[in-house]
């Protein structure tokens, strides 16, 4: 959805919705989430945070009132379940797939990888911007 910056400490937080609509990353490509798994995500993120494990946090959880067809056990027995939307918050939602997806689509989208890397360097590793080879420096940093 976007990002906000805490004026008190300058920390950047990204907001993301899960279950709010179509996305190519969802198993069924319908972009929906069900209440069952959304509740589990919410509770588990709070438990991990309470244990001191850095994780994505669930900021809010709302039921949509829409039924969502899901095969809970992947056994061909799909059923309608209550839909939900989770708003997640984290310092970053950049993942390996952020770079992997454009590369998998062919040479025409490699420029997106550079754009993503430039953004990551600017907002998460600004000390790398002055390096002679900033992309190599980023690769070294994240692999360490």
The whole-number pLDDT of residue 24 equals: 61
Domain boundary among 90, 111, 133: 90
The whole-number pLDDT of residue 105 equals: 79
Both 7 and 78 in one domain: the answer is yes
Which DSSP string do the residues of 88-102 spell out, in sequence order? EEES----HHHHHHH
What lies within 8 Å, CB to CB, of 113 at 6+ separation is: 99, 102, 103
* Structure confidence by residue, pLDDT tens digits, 51-110: 999 899 999 999 999 999 999 999 999 999 999 999 999 999 998 888 888 888 777 778
Residues of the chain by 3-state class (helix, strand, coil), percent to 5: 40, 30, 35
Which DSSP string do the residues of 4-18 spell out, in sequence order? EE-TTT--EEEEEEE
The whole-number pLDDT of residue 85 equals: 97
Domain that holds residue 124: 96-143
Which residue has tokens 């310092």?
Answer: 91
* Structure confidence by residue, pLDDT tens digits, 8-66: 999 999 999 999 998 766 555 788 999 999 999 999 999 999 999 989 999 999 999 99
Both 23 and 71 in one domain: the answer is yes
């Amino acid at each position: 959805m976007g990002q906000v910056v805490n004026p008190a400490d300058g920390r950047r937080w990204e907001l993301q919705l899960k279950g709010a609509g179509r996305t190519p990353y969802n198993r069924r490509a319908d972009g929906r989430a069900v209440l069952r798994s959304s509740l589990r995500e919410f509770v588990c993120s709070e438990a991990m945070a309470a244990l001191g494990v850095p994780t994505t946090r669930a900021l809010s959880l709302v039921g949509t009132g829409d039924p969502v067809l899901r095969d809970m056990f992947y056994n061909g027995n799909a059923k309608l379940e209550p839909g939900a939307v989770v708003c997640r918050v984290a310092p970053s939602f950049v993942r390996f797939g952020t770079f992997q997806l454009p590369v998998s689509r062919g040479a025409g989208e490699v420029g997106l990888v550079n754009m993503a890397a430039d953004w990551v360097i600017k907002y998460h590793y600004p000390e790398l911007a002055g390096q002679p080879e900033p992309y190599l420096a980023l690769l070294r940093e994240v692999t360490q």
